[in-house]
Structure 1
Amino acid sequence: MSIIFQDLYKPEKASLQINVTGSEFSQLFVQREREMEGIEHRTVEVNGIKMHIAETGEGPVVLFLHGFPELWHSWHNQIAALGSLGYHAVAPDLRGYGDTEVPDSISSYTCFHIVGDLVALIDFLGVDQVFLVGHDWGAIIGWYLCMFRPDKVKAYVCLSVPLLHRNPKVRTVDAMRAMYGDDYYICRFQKPGEMEAQMAEVGTEYVLRNITTRKPGPPILPKGKFGTGFNPDMTNSLPSWLPEDDLAYYVSKFEKTGFTGPLNNYRNMNLNWELTAAWSGVKIQVPVKFITGELDMVYTSLNMKEYIHGGGFKEDVPNLEEVVVQKGVAHFNNLEAAEEINTHIYDFINKF
């Protein structure tokens, strides 16, 4: 959806209509591949699926977990930066995304499946532990990895989504529905096929452009359609951190795989609540640095500010070493504030 995106962005191309095919798309990808020179790609077999990973550098492994609707590419600034600083930076397309396999069954996207993929990947890389960096859904999976296999994580830099404290009395989606109603976006994602059909009505490009919103607060989607979706005030201009060729890359991958795999993560939230009953109340013991934007839709929803700053977060994560709130930054802080995020990651993991 940068090494800095601001450096690559062309203001004269801010108004984007992606209606390119064939040679035009090829030219965009050739340009992006040249910019990504030094990042290698391969497909590995983990946990019964084929997973695509992008990687560069040598040294301790830094494992990057992307969110929704993102890909390994969301981390290309961080991969380049950490790979040049003595680390082996690795970013997979997670299960259901990009060039990684897309299992058909909804139940193939539980937290156990995805953490299983990552543990198998860590073992494949031949290391005992990794430095972990996660954003959005990648952050949620990162918390599960720290919970289930803390022996695999040396330290965790978490972006956007803090630990979602498990209420033993209320299932996750049920709690969200009670707080924000049936039109809260996670509630709207629950029915199989419904959101995919509504996204298809507006098109992949529109969906990806729309989700780059800087609008704070809980995303409420109009009933019965995707419509204006996450950003009712969307214009033709792209944000400075999302160049045309990057968007073209995302569009091509989601056109191929669709959104069902990624949406199935949301459809397992209540099941994940049931599956993790044995971990209710468990403290995360991994050293953690948490970074969010002050305009982030997560930070400005669900009583998150109270949890993050009121002591609850620290109680659940005793080794939470620092909370950073970035002024004027929204949800995709790994892209919007790439250089700052690179510095935060390096400064934190370099201590270990």
Structure 2
Amino acid sequence: MFPPSRRVPTNGIELAVHEQGEGPAVLLLHGFPELAYSWRNQIGPIADAGFRVIVPDQRGYGDSDAPADSQSYSVKNLVADATGVLDALGIEQAIFIGHDWGSMPAWYSGVYAPDRVRAVASLCTPYFTPGDADLLAIYHELRGPKHYMATFQEPGVGEALLERDVEATFRALLRGRGYTMDEFEAAPAEVREVPAGVFVGDPQLFGDELLSDAELAVYADTYRRTGFTGGLNWYRALHKDWEEGLGHEFVIDKPALMISAADDWFFPRGATDGMEELLPQVRKHVIPDAGHWLQQERPDDVNALLLDWLKDLR
């Protein structure tokens, strides 16, 4: 059973936070366009293993506050949201685990709030640090000028696409592995660009539907009410993320875990290569025949890897 939420004050806003279990704190941070609900298959097993599992709808999502200022969605501020939840709950340290966009505040908790971090883990999203340009410019070079991050920059454009038919958006998006990495790399340039239309099935690069009708309704009902602006604002703060990250120490010498999906074409092949230089304690695993929505597509495999790592932390 998915635990109910309560409103928790943090960093000048309130987040809807779901909790289960007792013991060392594990903070699960969801990505875009998802909710705390995306961790429904992990909460019980982690709690049963002797941990206090804390799962917020992050800033801009679900029943949490969604400030209008897009620049308040910078990763540094998202880390402050997470540590503020720990403050409100009287917790000194937590194990931070993220998926997709949620992996960025998870990883960067070790940069901006290292004293609050017991360990850090990510599903799908590698740990990367500011380079000579922000992520928008990097993806422009890597993918092309019409990649989805660029499209999402202009207020209203991503909203119009995703909100046109909310149920159809999630039915097209939250699917299992479709294109393999080899097939994606052999696709035409306009496909490899990963246009925003991919989020509504144009082109359809994903595979079979992952969600039951009841699970799909949780997403559709929530986003009909909230819209997508809060989540899209995470993309609109990308340049600020780059500015705020410059000059920091990026080596995180704490237990770390990276779980990748072999056919997650949102990231280029080899995206996790060299992470050991920044994460000297990292363990890396790749789940074969899996796509981007990893903890919903392959919950048993994800849980086995997470629990093995978490139990070693005990």
Please say whether Structure 1 and Structure 2 have the same fold, judged by a TM-score greater than 0.5: yes
Alignment-derived partner of residue 284 in structure 2:
323
Any unmatched runs of 5+ in structure 2?
185-191
What does 1:1-352 align with in structure 2 at a 5 Å threshold?
Answer: 35-36=1-2, 39-167=3-131, 169-201=132-164, 203-213=165-175, 214=177, 215=179, 216=181, 217=184, 218=192, 220-221=194-195, 226=197, 229=200, 232-233=203-204, 239=209, 241-279=210-248, 282-299=250-267, 301=268, 304-305=269-270, 307-309=271-273, 312-320=274-282, 322-352=283-313
* Alpha-carbon distance between aligned partners in 1 of 2:254 and 2:149, rounded to the nearest angstrom: 28
Shift of 1:109: 0.8
- 1:285-324 C-alpha deviation (Å, 9 max, x unpaired): 221110011011234x2xx51x423xx211122221x111
Instruction: Find the counterpart in structure 1 of residue 189 from structure 2.
Output: none
Provide the C-alpha distance between the structure 1 equivalents of 2:6 and 2:95, rounded to a whole number of angstroms.
21
Q: Cα distance, 1:212 vs. partner? A: 2.4
Secondary structure of 1:278's aligned partner: coil
CA contact (8 A) 1:146 1:284 kept: yes
Identical aligned residues as a percent: 31
CA RMSD of aligned residues (A): 2.0
Please report how far the alpha carbon of residue 228 of structure 1 lies from its aligned counterpart in structure 2 after TM superposition.
7.2
User: Matched residues in 2 for 1:190 and 1:267: separation?
Assistant: 5
AA paired with 1:187?
A: A
What is the aligned residue count?
Answer: 301
- Work out the CA distance in 2 between the residues paired with 1:155 and 1:197: 39
Tell me the secondary structure at the aligned position of residue 277 of structure 2: helix
Structure 1 residue runs of 5 or longer lacking an equivalent are: 1-34
Q: 2: CA distance between counterparts of 1:220 and 1:85? A: 39
Deviation of the 1:150 alpha carbon: 1.4
Relative to structure 1, the CA distance from residue 56 to residue 242 in structure 2 (aligned partners, 3 Å threshold; closer, same or farther) is: same
Deviations 1:52-87, CA, capped at 9 Å, x for gaps = 011111111111000111101111111111111211
- Partner Cα separation in structure 2 for residue 291 and residue 156 of structure 1: 12
For normalisation by structure 2, the TM-score amounts to: 0.90
- How many angstroms does 1:211 deviate by? 2.0
Indicate conservation of the 8 Å contact 1:150/1:286, yes or no.
no
- Say which structure, 1 or 2, has more relative contact order (CA 8 Å, 6+ apart): 1
Report the TM-score, using the length of structure 1 for normalisation.
Answer: 0.80
CA–CA separation in structure 1 for the residues paired with 2:166 and 2:155: 18
3-state SS in 1 of match to 2:194 = coil
SS at match of 2:247: helix
Report which of the two structures shows the higher radius of gyration computed on alpha carbons.
Answer: 1
CA contact (8 A) 2:61 2:231 kept: yes
